[in-house]
Each structure stands twice: as structure tokens, then as C-alpha cells.
Amino acid sequence: MWKPDRHNPKPLYEQIADHLEQRISYGEFPPGSLLPSERKLAEQLGVNRSTVILAFGELRSMGIIESRPGSGTRVSKFKWGAVPKHTPNWKRYAEGGSFLPNLPFLRRIREALQQNPALIDFASGELSADLAPIEEMTELMGTNPYPSYLGYGHPQGYMPLRQAVASYLDRYRGIQATESSILITSGSQQSLYLITQCLLSPGDAVAIEDPSYHYSLPMFQSAGLRLVRLPADEEGILPEEIRSLHKKHRIKMIFVNPNFQNPTGTLLSDDRRGALLEVASELGLPIVEDDPYSLTDYEGIPRSPLKSMDRVGSILHIGSFSKMAAAGLRVGWMVAPHSIVERLADARQQMDFGLSVIPQQVAARFLESPYFEPHLHRLRTQLRRKRDLLVEALQQELPDSVRFHVPQGGIHLWCRLVPSVSDAKLLEEAIKKGVVFVPGSVYGSDSGYVRFTFGRAKAEEIGPGIAKFAEALRGLTDSFPTVKKAK
Amino acid sequence: MWKPDRHNPKPLYEQIADHLEQRISYGEFPPGSLLPSERKLAEQLGVNRSTVILAFGELRSMGIIESRPGSGTRVSKFKWGAVPKHTPNWKRYAEGGSFLPNLPFLRRIREALQQNPALIDFASGELSADLAPIEEMTELMGTNPYPSYLGYGHPQGYMPLRQAVASYLDRYRGIQATESSILITSGSQQSLYLITQCLLSPGDAVAIEDPSYHYSLPMFQSAGLRLVRLPADEEGILPEEIRSLHKKHRIKMIFVNPNFQNPTGTLLSDDRRGALLEVASELGLPIVEDDPYSLTDYEGIPRSPLKSMDRVGSILHIGSFSKMAAAGLRVGWMVAPHSIVERLADARQQMDFGLSVIPQQVAARFLESPYFEPHLHRLRTQLRRKRDLLVEALQQELPDSVRFHVPQGGIHLWCRLVPSVSDAKLLEEAIKKGVVFVPGSVYGSDSGYVRFTFGRAKAEEIGPGIAKFAEALRGLTDSFPTVKKAK
């Protein structure tokens, strides 16, 4: 991204004015459109707000932009030879469309991370760079890095990857699947998107764990679905509740994340797994099983997915590389009855013509390589270490202000805050101190919960990050006496 | 895909029965679900239908499947310990969902190509393997094949690729854009999908060229849009028609493909480009400019995109690697006002969390490499040669039965058939003879048109492919005397 050059003899404000004029003339900001605020632009460009004010003044004097109190700074409509009706009303278009924008908290977190990459990141649900098997992949792809044919691929995904995923599922997840019952997707997100778009209709009710990552996805609302909350405790959801909920809401599908759930880290107990399958089969209801974290179990205990116990074919099983290797590969999969795989593959062709074959080839080779098993071992060890560091830091910095269960796998720790503070204020305060997290309300819980993700931050950042968070929290509460810190 | 092993001493039908039993027990075909027909399965497995009949008999005798006349063969509901209500009604789910399935002709073509990869392919809109710059890419990626960080990327796409696309647009397309006005997509298909989902609402009218590739995309109907036909002749659309169409239908957006249009190969004339921009700006209407083929101009004449003439910011410009390098990279881009780029990037994050960084890195290096220009030169030469071969074959095989304009760029030739035949019958007959094409009605035209794509077939296949097509056509028409062939 462009930044003014401090070694350039031309004053910073002039450089900024020239740059903005250029972007306006390129059509990036059409006549009548709103420019970023002075504050925001100053942050983006790494300059003082007064410098931006000077640059805006320059552009205003040339008639290129106009400022009006309370409505911000806009590109002038006349300077560019256009009377108002000439430019499409882009604002109206951007606000139109049936697809809803992301949640404000999530957009705020993304923006904060873009503006300040030095923020300690307890928000992004991904692994840190050092946990991705880059060296192994580089070596595996050293010879024959590309398939000889780079055309559109099979709608269900690259055949050698489907075969590799079938062996993986058999070996690691106890799931029997053939390549024709596997759909390669770009990750769990795309799997969920295809399900909500293609198998459900507006007005349908779906049952979702309370809390759940799924509440952070406006895609369910964009598809016009009604969300029914499935109550859960520290052993996961209560399957017996499904019957009465179904009676009341005519549920069409159940969404669960049984292993190290996002955001709570909960492991669904064995008894409840059996009960869930029984009630779903009794009601003829499909279950979507989102299973990204199982192989991160710190003790290396294989946690059987629901799909491995599925005797009647009621489960759509979703897996991904993102949380066990690298999110940037964008490779995931779904196991489903063949008719469902065909339906979703056909729709995906229409949306994006399928995935690039290159990352699919990387994923296939890695899954079948001797590097896969040692990688998992290293990942588990490192994640456990990060969890320990996080738990230690929380106990040290906030002994009386947080309540949590210690997760046994996955990358999330779910925390209840004892002093009652506003989610929005706490997030803003934390960003100021140099740390981000996700407020629990994003996942459908009440205010006063926090999801700390410890996969993304570097090990050495975890302690300092929690110290910054504690500072932010202290700044907002009187109930937390500073002396406690000395304990 | 599994095939029976002819060297295995176990009879083929037993191998097939075992395989099917396994797939059924894996949940790929749940209780009550329909199995493929005997004919289809025989084709897929490359065996006689009688062998499949024997295999089905075996499974039937074990109570695993049930056949009923007229309703096909289904997996037994009782054998698998499930009473009917226990398995979700997958058929109803697959038929539900607001997203529409692909057009039957397109699904038929895909199925035919999967069943018989030896078919000569005049249907797929892509380049043949030998036209993709695989060697160049392999060399460029030889050192540092992967970025050091494989996490989720920037919602707008990988920054070095956005910068490379900005230079490319400046140099080759006369478009001034900065990286913040560029959205990297997986190709034109995803760009169109995002536009229809995020900038338009159900009931909105959009104007589309008649005929157009866009009629082959049920995504417009899935988004609830009304399609208004823009009449066109051999110089492209008639811009003056837009005013009256707008009056009648309140058009919200115009979709055009001005250079070597898909499917007609038409080049929109310069006068009409000016007139189109004028009328759009007068009405405040945005234009979506789909521009995948420009650089394939056989004479190497740079055809300016509408976006390069856009003075008021009314154009969303869509480009892609698919038709000028390799569709399997899945890399494309859109140039749009910043507010639109942000809206679409946010939605795409929700749908699939963005693209893999690996193909984006390949694309960026290739665009900036000294190989790009020679590649384009070679591509143009080869495509012109394929076009010449196609034209020659059509003139030789079907001198009196086809009418067409010779395209000056792109990969499609649009053909009117003089004898009137049914699209469906002609396609089936052609598949039998060993060739596929796309019936013109897929693109919204009347019956009796054909789109021949010459990018995908090998040069040496073009003559024989048209001979097979001519045979198919002759088989269906009396009006075409066989003697003509001797001419």
C-alpha cells in the first residue's frame, strides 16, 4: 500500500494530495463518493492528522473535494465534468444486495489488524507462520511442481486429492469414504456456505450450538434461515433438548462442532454423541459435523467424529487443512451422500468454477508424505505450549477477573469476565493497548465473554498480550484493584 | 475412480457387487437412495450392461438393494437397520435450496466428458494444455516456491498480485488503477457471482447482450434478477436501445463483453462503445465489462476496454488469467470503486475466506516476468491457427449447412445451422460420434445455433472433430445430401 516518502523533498501533505488526486481520477473514488476520514487516513498513511488536514485543504482549494460538517469529505461532483446523475449511486449499490455484510465487531478487528500489523492477535482463528509445514511442502513440490494440465478441474475436486483424503479419513478419522462421496472445498467456510445455499430454503429453521462460531456468520441470515439455539454445558450440547425444539420450530438441520468447539473448546461427551445420533436419526434430521480441530488433541487421543458412528447416513462431515496445516492453502473437504456431493459441486462450479489445482496438489502430496505424522506431533506440542502460556498469563495477570475451562485441544480458550464491561469498550481499549480478541457476543453469548485464540500469536507474544489485555480491562473497571497484580 | 480389475480372477460382476456394497455401507448411497442406472453404471465402469445386471442381481439376493419397474434400483431400507424415517430425505434436501442447478445441456456435456475423456471437446471454454505456460511458471517458482506465511490472506487478495495487476492494466489495457481499487477473484465467474449477490436485489432488472454467455449462468435467476435482452448485431449491442428498455424495465445494471464476445466472437465497434458509455452515464447506470479475451486478438491490436474510456466511474471491469494463460490457476480480478471492492471482499470472506496465496504468487511472478509477452505472442499465433483449421474444416465438411463470421480473436466461433434440427438430438448424436459442442440455446438464442470453442481441442483434433459433427448433423437431416461431401 502507498505511503508518503519521508526522504522525498516534496512535503508530505503535497505527496498525499497528489496521491489522492490520482486515485480519484482513476475512478477509485467516483464523483460524490465519501473519502476516508482524516483520522482514518492519517492512521493508514502513518502521518499526523494535521498533515492530512493540509492535504485535504489543498484538494479542496482545487475544487476536487468538498467537505460538509457532519457528512465528511466527498469527491466533488462538478470538477470531474459530471452532473450528479452521471455516476452510478455506488453507495446504494454497495448497500443493496441480498448478501449481508460481516458483523461490525469482525470488520473492526480486521481493520485494526490491517492498520497495525504489530497488534498481538488473539482474534484470528489460524496458526502462526512457524506452525505451517512450509519447508516440507517446498521439498515435496521440488520436482514436478505443477500438473501438466492447468485447465478447469473436476467439479468435485482434484482426483488424487480426493483419494488422499479418503485414505486420511480412513486412517485418522475412522471414516470410510470413496472419492465419489468426497467434495474438495476451499475450507469449512465454503462447505457451510454451499450447504446453506443449496440444501436449505429461506424460512427453514436450523439448530446451532449456543454459543457457536456459526453465529458469527451472517451467511445463515443471508440465506434467510431461522437460527434455533441448542443449549450446551461443559460437556457440549444437550441432545434431549432437540426433540422439543423440533416440535416447536420444525428444525431442518443440526450444526455441531463436537471436538474442541469454537469458541468454547468443549469436547462433546461420548454419551451425548450417541444420544445426538439417536435423536437425529429418530427425527430423520441431517447433522452437519464441523471437525477442524480433532487432530490437535494435545494428548494425541483420537477423538472419533460422529460420522464414524453414522449408521444411517445422516451426517455431512466437514474437515479442513486450515487448523492442522495452513489456512493459506485453502483446502478442505466434505463427506456426504453422492447425490448431495453432486448438487453442491454443481453449484460451486457456478459460483467460482472450482479451486486451483496447485494447492490441491500440494495438499495431496503432503497428506501422503512421511512428513504428515511428525508435523501433527509438532503441532500438538506447540499448541499445548501456547495454551499453557495463555493459562499461566491469565492466572497471573487476572487471577480474580476471569473464569475458564482449560481446553485439551484446538486453538481457542473461552473466558468469562467477572467484572461486567461493555464488549465494544473493551475491544477499543484493547486495540489501543496493542492487542485484539473476539468479544463473546459475536458467537451469540451474552456480553462479558471473550474468545482468546492462541494459535495465531507467537509463543513469546502471549504473556505480553495478556498483560496488555489486563491493562485494558483494568482501565474500564473499578472492581479490579491494581494491588491484585502484585500477588 | 474405481474400475473392476480384469486381471483379477474374481469375476467382474462380483467385483462390482463388492464395490457397490462397500460404497453403500460407507453412506455414499444411504438407505432408500437411488443407485445409478444399469446403463450409466456400465458406461462408468467400462463393462457390458449384462455384467452390471448380474452385479445388481447379487446385491438384490442379499437384500441390499431393491428394484421396482419404472422407479429404478434403490438401496434397501430394512437391510441397513433403518426404518424409513431414520435417514434424512436427501433427495428433498438436494432439490431444495434457493441456488438453482446448472442448465441440463451443460450438465449433460460435463457428464459426457467425464464418461469419455476421448471426446473431441468444442464445448469447454478454456485453453488446451499445450497453450498454458507451465514450463515458464515452473522455472519462475523454482526458488522460493512458497510465501513464508501461509495464513488467511488480505480480503482483497495478495498485495504483490494486486500491484502486478495494476501494472498489467496500465501497460496492456490502458486502465489506471491502484491496488486498493483491485479485488483479486478466482476468475470472472466469481466476479459475476459477487456482483449478483451483493450489489443487486431480487426483482432488479439487468440488461444482458442477446445472445450471451450470461444466459448460461443460472446464478442470475438464483439471485432473483430479471434479465432484459439487449439486441445485438455483428457490431455488438445497439446502445440506443438501452434508453427505451430502461424506461420499460428500470434497468439496474448492464452486462457486456465487448471484445470477442462469448459466444458470438463479436467486437463492439468504436462508435457503439462511445454511445454505450454516454447512455449509461446519462442514466446513471453501472456497466459490468467482462474482458477475458482482448489479448488474444490475432493481429495483436490492442482493443481498448470500456474502462479505459470511463470518465465518471461507471464501469466494473472484470479480467482473468483463464483465457490468456491457464484456467487452472483460478486467478482473476475486478477493478471497481473502493467502496464496491470493500463490499465484495467482505462478502467473499464470508463465502470462502478468500483464495489460496500460492496460485496468486505464481500469477504475480508470471505477469511481471519477461515470459509474459512472448507467451501472449505464442498464444495468439496458436489460436489463429486453430481458428483457421476450424474454418477450413467447416467449409470443407459443411459448405452449405453453416453460416458464420470469422472471429478475429478469442476462442469461440458462432455458427448458424441451415438445416433445422433439434438442439437436444444434435448434441446426443454428436456425443455418439465422439464430439461435443454447446447448443446456442444455452446462450439464449433460438434453436439452430452452435458455439464451437477452438481453444480447448488440440490442433490435430479440429478437422476430425468437425467431420464427426458433420456426420451427426447429416444423420439428422434429409436436406443435406451425402454427395455434397465429395465436393
Q: How near does any CA of chain A get to the CA of B344, in Å?
A: 8
Q: Give strand pairing partners of B451.
A: B414, B438
Per-residue pLDDT at B484: 43
Does A68 touch chain B if contact means CB atoms closer than 8 Å?
no
Q: Are A75 and A24 in contact (CB under 8 A)?
A: yes
Per-residue pLDDT at B72: 87
Per-residue pLDDT at B151: 84
- Quick one: which of A415, A422, A399 has its CA closest to A481? A399
Q: What is the pLDDT of residues B129-156, one digit of tens each?
A: 999 999 999 888 887 777 777 888 899 9
Interchain CB distance below 8 Å, B354 and A181: no
205-234 in chain B: CB under 8 A from chain A? 217-219, 222-224
Q: Are B295 and B172 in contact (CB under 8 A)?
A: yes
Interchain CB distance below 8 Å, B85 and A284: yes
Per-residue pLDDT at A288: 98
Interchain CB distance below 8 Å, A155 and B89: no
Q: How near does any CA of chain B get to the CA of A403, in Å?
A: 30
pLDDT greater than 50 at residue B82: no
Per-residue pLDDT at B315: 95
Neighbours of B245 (CB within 10 A): 17
List CB contacts of B461: < 8 A, sequence separation 6 or more.
B120
Per-residue pLDDT at A400: 92
Distance from chain centroid for Cα A410:
14
Per-residue pLDDT at A15: 92
CA-based torsion, B227, B233, B237, B242: positive or negative: negative
For residue B299 the three cell numbers come to 493481429
Which residue reads 431414520 in cell numbers?
B86
DSSP B404-470: EPPPSSSSEEEEEESS---HHHHHHHHHHHTEE-EEGGGGTPPSSEEEEE-SSS-HHHHHHHHHHHH
Using CA atoms, how far residue A50 sits from A39, A46, A53, in Å, is 9, 12, 5
What distance in Å separates the CA atoms of residue A289 and residue A275, rounded to the nearest whole number? 15
- Quick one: which of B162, B198, B153 has its CA closest to B182? B162
Q: Identify the closest residue of chain B to A157 by CA–CA distance.
A: B328
Strand ranges (E), A211-326: 226-233, 236-237, 251-256, 287-290, 315-320
Chain B residue numbers with beta carbons less than 8 Å from the beta carbon of A26 are: 176-178, 181
Chain B residue numbers with beta carbons less than 8 Å from the beta carbon of A363 are: none
- Which of A152, A328, A329 is opposite residue B126, by nearest beta carbon? A152
Neighbours of B247 (CB within 10 A): 10
Q: Please, is B2 exposed, middle or buried when counting C-beta atoms within 10 Å of its C-beta (0-12, 13-18, 19+)?
A: middle
DSSP B96-133: -SSSPPPPHHHHHHHHHHHH-TTSEESS--S--GGGS-
For residue B410 the three cell numbers come to 478469442
pLDDT greater than 70 at residue B343: yes
Does A78 touch chain B if contact means CB atoms closer than 8 Å?
no
DSSP A386-413: HHHHHHHHHHHH-TTTEEEPPPSSSSEE
- Longest CA–CA span in chain A (Å) reads 76
224-283 in chain A: CB under 8 A from chain B? 224, 281-283
The structural domains of chain A, ordered by start, are 12-95 (1.10.10.10), 104-130+374-486 (3.90.1150.10), 143-370 (3.40.640.10)
Does A114 touch chain B if contact means CB atoms closer than 8 Å?
yes
Q: Identify the closest residue of chain A to B82 by CA–CA distance.
A: A312
What distance in Å separates the CA atoms of residue A312 and residue A305, rounded to the nearest whole number? 15
DSSP A92-110: HHHH-SSSPPPPHHHHHHH
Share of chain B above pLDDT 70, in %: 96
Interchain CB distance below 8 Å, A219 and B338: no
Per-residue pLDDT at A147: 78
Chain B residue numbers with beta carbons less than 8 Å from the beta carbon of A146 are: 134, 137-138
The count of CB pairs under 8 A between chains A and B is 378
Helix (H, G, I), strand (E, B) or coil at A113: helix
Confidence label for B465 from pLDDT (cuts 50, 70 and 90)? very high
Residue segments in chain A with a per-residue pLDDT below the cut of 50 = 81-84, 480-487
Judged by average pLDDT, the poorest of A78-82, A444-448, B67-71, B193-197 is A78-82
CA-based torsion, B57, B62, B65, B67: positive or negative: positive
Pairing between strand A287-290 and A251-256? parallel
pLDDT greater than 80 at residue B296: yes
Q: How near does any CA of chain B get to the CA of A337, in Å?
A: 4
Using CA atoms, how far residue A385 sits from A57, A267, A458, in Å, is 53, 20, 11
DSSP character for A34? B
Best mutation target among B352, B355, B360 (most A Cβ atoms within 10 Å) is B352
What distance in Å separates the CA atoms of residue B165 and residue B184, rounded to the nearest whole number? 9
Q: Identify the closest residue of chain B to A360 by CA–CA distance.
A: B356
Helix (H, G, I), strand (E, B) or coil at B252: strand
Q: What do you get for the CA distance between the two ends of chain B, in Å?
A: 45
What distance in Å separates the CA atoms of residue B242 and residue A461, rounded to the nearest whole number? 59
420-449 in chain A: CB under 8 A from chain B? none
**Between B469 and B1, residue with greater pLDDT:** B469
Q: Are B50 and B16 in contact (CB under 8 A)?
A: no
Per-residue pLDDT at B84: 46
- Quick one: which of B217, B248, B218 has its CA closest to B230? B248
- Which of B94, B150, B222 is opposite residue A134, by nearest beta carbon? B150
Chain B residue numbers with beta carbons less than 8 Å from the beta carbon of A180 are: 1, 23, 28
- Quick one: which of A286, A349, A235 has its CA closest to B88? A286
Amino acid at B464: P
For residue B153 the three cell numbers come to 490472506
Pairing between strand A182-185 and A332-335? antiparallel
Chain B residue numbers with beta carbons less than 8 Å from the beta carbon of A99 are: 197-198, 347, 350
A341: phi then psi, degrees, rounded to nearest 5 = -60, -45
ipTM, two decimals: 0.89
For residue B281 the three cell numbers come to 452515464
Chain B residue numbers with beta carbons less than 8 Å from the beta carbon of A200 are: 93, 96-97
Q: Please, is A436 exposed, middle or buried when counting C-beta atoms within 10 Å of its C-beta (0-12, 13-18, 19+)?
A: buried
pLDDT greater than 60 at residue B25: yes
Alpha helices, DSSP H only, in B187-337?
A: 188-198, 219-222, 241-249, 270-283
Which residue reads 452515464 in cell numbers?
B281
- Quick one: which of A223, A208, A358 has its CA closest to A289? A208
What distance in Å separates the CA atoms of residue B133 and residue A19, rounded to the nearest whole number? 36
Which residue reads 448411497 in cell numbers?
B29
Helix (H, G, I), strand (E, B) or coil at B271: helix
Interchain CB distance below 8 Å, B87 and A355: no
- Quick one: which of B380, B223, B321 has its CA closest to A152? B321
Which residue reads 445455433 in cell numbers?
B449
What distance in Å separates the CA atoms of residue A423 and residue A478, rounded to the nearest whole number? 16
Per-residue pLDDT at B486: 39
DSSP character for B401? T
Does A334 touch chain B if contact means CB atoms closer than 8 Å?
no
Does A330 touch chain B if contact means CB atoms closer than 8 Å?
yes
Q: How near does any CA of chain B get to the CA of A360, in Å?
A: 10
- Quick one: which of A138, A36, A186 has its CA closest to B153? A186
What distance in Å separates the CA atoms of residue B115 and residue B221, rounded to the nearest whole number? 29
What distance in Å separates the CA atoms of residue A334 and residue B462, rounded to the nearest whole number? 39
For residue B183 the three cell numbers come to 479485488
Q: Give strand pairing partners of A315.
A: A287
Chain B residue numbers with beta carbons less than 8 Å from the beta carbon of A202 are: 98
Per-residue pLDDT at A78: 65
Q: What do you get for the CA distance between the two ends of chain A, in Å?
A: 46
Which residue reads 467431420 in cell numbers?
B467
Interchain CB distance below 8 Å, B356 and A311: no
Q: Identify the closest residue of chain B to A23 by CA–CA distance.
A: B178
**Between A313 and B474, residue with greater pLDDT:** B474
DSSP character for B33? P
Pairing between strand A402-404 and A438-439? unpaired
Neighbours of A14 (CB within 10 A): 14
For residue B39 the three cell numbers come to 446403463
Per-residue pLDDT at B83: 45
Per-residue pLDDT at B483: 44
What distance in Å separates the CA atoms of residue B124 and residue B323, rounded to the nearest whole number? 11
